[in-house]
Amino acid sequence: MMTAQELFKLSKKDKNQLEQNYIDALQDREFHELVDSLNVSSDILKNYTSLLKDVIKEKKNCKNCPSLEKCPNKVKGYIEQIIVLEKGLNFAYVNCPLEKERLKNSAHQKWMMVYDMPKEIKRASLNDVYKTAKNRIPIIKYFKTFLDDYQNIDKPKGIYLHGSFGSGKTYLIAALFNELAKKEVRSAMVYFPEFLRELKASFGTDFKERFDYIKEVPLLLLDDIGAENVTSWSRDEILGPILQYRMEEGLSTFFTSNLTLEELEVNLASTKSGNDSLKARRIIERIRQLTVDYPLIGENFRR
Ligand code: ADP
Ligand code: MG
């Protein structure tokens, strides 16, 4: 953009050229319409012909938007806008709806911590879930109640979601957590077998931080419980206290598993050091307190 001083210094010939360019541009219908909509005198407008043309070009690009990735505008995801000032025009970049959506989605992800889970899980969305099979309907209904209730004082119960491999259990819960992240609810999704391994390896370093984080996070998913190598340590020192704390504090807790609660009880009872069905039962009782039980059995979505 030219300053007033620069404009003043222009020779008469240049001034005529500016005018001529402007008049030529007016032949274009879109240029004409844009200029009319601004309600600014031609004396001012003629100094901005090429910038105004750029705005039109970007508008056209947006009209034929190929995708955010392939955005042909000068600044990807942004469109130039005209700001009318008292003595001239200014031009600013404003983000387009697609870019706004992208920013919103990446911003809310900071509320979700994932632990040894596929990255794509952060993009799971309830909108995608709706379109799929009937066996999800009761779960989605529960999610809706959960979303409504979550803002209330009494924190709603999580779900114990069990069923066959690849039926979409993890995806479903991730979609719910994503929705709550948009409301700035902090959550963690941890692949339980790997979490245990790393927790054990963190003795003497940040063990307590890791343990406390999972214990206290407002929303927790323990993914694939029952797939871990059960030891009396993992059951009685880790899982038990985490669940006990979350029960007492009313923190919503979710589980996915290939096992039903009855099968999980059997699984938790047996460790290398023997069989302890009482301790296993106490864990199951806590899970029952924390959750409602839903099956999700279906085709394997994994490819
Ligand atoms: P599970 O936890 O039951 O073993 P996952 O949740 O990991 O199954 O789902 C298996 C695969 O299918 C994953 O790659 C996941 O991203 C995909 N998937 C599951 N449900 C959906 C859905 N509703 N829409 C899109 N992809 C899905
Ligand atoms: Mg899973």
Domain edges within the chain: 12-95, 101-296
- Name the 3-class secondary structure at 224: coil
> What does the alpha-carbon distance between residue 220 and residue 160 come to, in Å, rounded to a whole number?
12
> What does the alpha-carbon distance between residue 173 and residue 191 come to, in Å, rounded to a whole number?
13
Tell me, using a 6 A CB cutoff, whether residue 168 lines ligand 1: yes
**pLDDT tens per residue, range 230-247:** 999 999 999 999 999 999
Please give the distance, rounded to the nearest whole angstrom, from the Cα atom of residue 177 to the centre of ligand 2.
Answer: 14
0.85 exceeded by pTM: no
pLDDT band at 5 (very low <50, low <70, confident <90, very high): low
> What does the alpha-carbon distance between residue 225 and residue 230 come to, in Å, rounded to a whole number?
10
Looking at the structure, give the CATH architecture of the domain made up of residues 101-296. Answer: 3-Layer(aba) Sandwich (3.40)
| Averaged pLDDT for residues 164-191 | 92
Pick from 254, 299, 302: nearest CA to 164: 299
Helix axes 261-269, 277-290, angle to 10 degrees: 150
Tell me, using a 6 A CB cutoff, whether residue 129 lines ligand 1: yes
Q: Ligand 2 is a single-atom ion; what residues have CB below 5 A from it? A: 170
Q: For position 15, what pLDDT does the model report?
A: 76
Q: For position 277, what pLDDT does the model report?
A: 92
Tell me how crowded residue 215 is: count the other CB atoms within 10 A of its CB: 17
**Which among 165, 169, 301 is the best mutation to test ligand 1's pocket, defined by most ligand atoms within 8 Å of the CB?**
301
Q: In what order do the strands lie in the sheet with 252-257?
A: 112-115, 187-191, 219-223, 252-257, 158-162, 291-295
Rg (CA), the chain: 30
Instruction: Reply yes or no on whether the pLDDT at 132 is more than 70.
Output: no
> What does the alpha-carbon distance between residue 113 and residue 272 come to, in Å, rounded to a whole number?
32
pLDDT band at 152 (very low <50, low <70, confident <90, very high): confident
> Ligand nearest 174 Cα, by number?
1
